[in-house]
Amino acid sequence: MLPARVGHVSSAPVKCQGIKTKLVPFILGSLAWDEGRAGRWIEPFCGSCVVALNLAPQRALLADSNRHIIELYRGIQSGAITPAVVRAHLVEEGKRLARDGAAYYNRVRERFNESGEPLDFLFLNRSCFNGLIRFNKDGAFNVPFGHKPLRFSSAYVSKVANQVAWAAGRFAGRDWEFVVADWQDTLHRAAAEDFVYADPPYVGRHADYFNGWTSEDAMKLAHAVGDLPCGYAVSMWLENRYRRNEHVDRDWPGSEVRQWRHHYFIGSTEDLRNDMTEALIIRRGYVAATGDLAGRGRERRPESTQLRLSLTSGPDQ
């Protein structure tokens, strides 16, 4: 099943920081795994689910601690949230947003924080600042308005509805389980024939969207993943022009690492959005022989390396 050549990458209905849309060909072209009859693709930090949606394995366990993402995908999977339902909701809410701007956005945000309505979550996700998903310590969505009252044009609504339709089509006929779960509980469910792809919050990048994530958490994840009975791959930032991520060198010794350089779009201003080298940390025996990918665009060809112990340091951006 893997490696897979992905000629066209489709976008997920959910946007989030660190989304892997541009990296899908790199990820799926770097792994070697045959799901067979019983194997499951497992993601303990599924987020947007863009990797799983483009891979479309027959069986999958997709988990996240953010219940709002899971409930949205469960609704699409069950047929309760259809493209038509999404279109009607965004058209109506878009009219009110166009009329009242930030004031209406804030009313929907308050309503969502009381009810947790998945369609309101989708509306906020598509109209908030920079497509961020962020919650405060009380569990309330707190991303400000994105300053685009005319966001929901007919073309944009159609785009989101089509993404929902595409996701529903990927679910059809496949055994996918969506769960609200801690990453540790999810990893405990992995069996020898499975493959785990982990895309945790990037330690040192201030990019978490729901729970806190510390260096200690990153170290615990590295140890837990290393003890898995199956293949695995973990996404992590490796370096930028300012510094190198010492966590990769320290906590993943002897792992196979493939690298991919791309532009990092998270940052309040353009000068904080720089090129970033991504690391895909892969268990030995599960690395594709060539890594020959489709759709490279401006990004460079991936490199396969052994982890280096020498670190470079510098001021954080």
List the CATH number of the domain containing 194.
3.40.50.150
Last residue of a domain, one of 140, 168, 196: 168
Segments forming the whole domain that contains residue 30? 21-65+181-306
Residues 251 and 193 in one domain: yes
Which of the four pLDDT bands, split at 50, 70 and 90, describes residue 270?
Answer: very low
Q: Which residue has the higher pLDDT, 83 or 264?
A: 83
The distance between the two most distant Cα atoms of the chain, rounded to a whole number of Å, is 57
Residues 237 and 273 in one domain: yes
Domain for residue 32, yes or no? Answer: yes
Domain for residue 14, yes or no? Answer: no
Residues 45 and 151 in one domain: no
Residues 288 and 247 in one domain: yes
Query: What pLDDT, on the 0 to 100 scale, is given for residue 208?
Result: 47
Residues 6+ apart with CB under 8 A from 180: 63, 64, 65, 66, 67, 70
Residue 87 has pLDDT above 60, yes or no: yes
Domain for residue 311, yes or no? Answer: no
Domain for residue 127, yes or no? Answer: yes
Last residue of a domain, one of 135, 168, 201: 168
- Which one-letter amino acid corresponds to residue 237? W
Residues 194 and 267 in one domain: yes
Q: What ranges in 44-140 are assigned the alpha helix state H?
A: 50-55, 67-78, 83-100, 102-115, 118-127
Domain for residue 34, yes or no? Answer: yes
Residues 61 and 187 in one domain: yes
Residue 174 has pLDDT above 50, yes or no: yes
Residues 192 and 300 in one domain: yes
Instruction: Name the domain count of the chain.
Output: 2
Which CATH number does the domain housing residue 138 bear? 1.10.1020.10
Residues 216 and 276 in one domain: yes
Which of the four pLDDT bands, split at 50, 70 and 90, describes residue 88?
Answer: very high
Domain for residue 134, yes or no? Answer: yes
Residues 223 and 296 in one domain: yes
Residues 207 and 109 in one domain: no
Which of the four pLDDT bands, split at 50, 70 and 90, describes residue 204?
Answer: low
How do strand 175-180 and strand 59-64 relate by DSSP bridges?
A: parallel
Query: What pLDDT, on the 0 to 100 scale, is given for residue 211?
Result: 56
Last residue of a domain, one of 168, 197, 221: 168
Residues 190 and 221 in one domain: yes
Residues 152 and 196 in one domain: no
Domain for residue 220, yes or no? Answer: yes
Which of the four pLDDT bands, split at 50, 70 and 90, describes residue 222?
Answer: very high
Signed CA dihedral, 199, 1, 171, 296: sign only: positive
64 and 47 in contact (C-beta within 8 Å)? yes
Instruction: State mean pLDDT over 130-143.
Output: 93
Q: What is the pLDDT of residues 227-240, one digit of tens each?
A: 999 999 999 988 88
Q: What is the pLDDT of residues 206-220, one digit of tens each?
A: 444 455 688 899 999
pTM to 2 decimal places: 0.86
Domain for residue 161, yes or no? Answer: yes
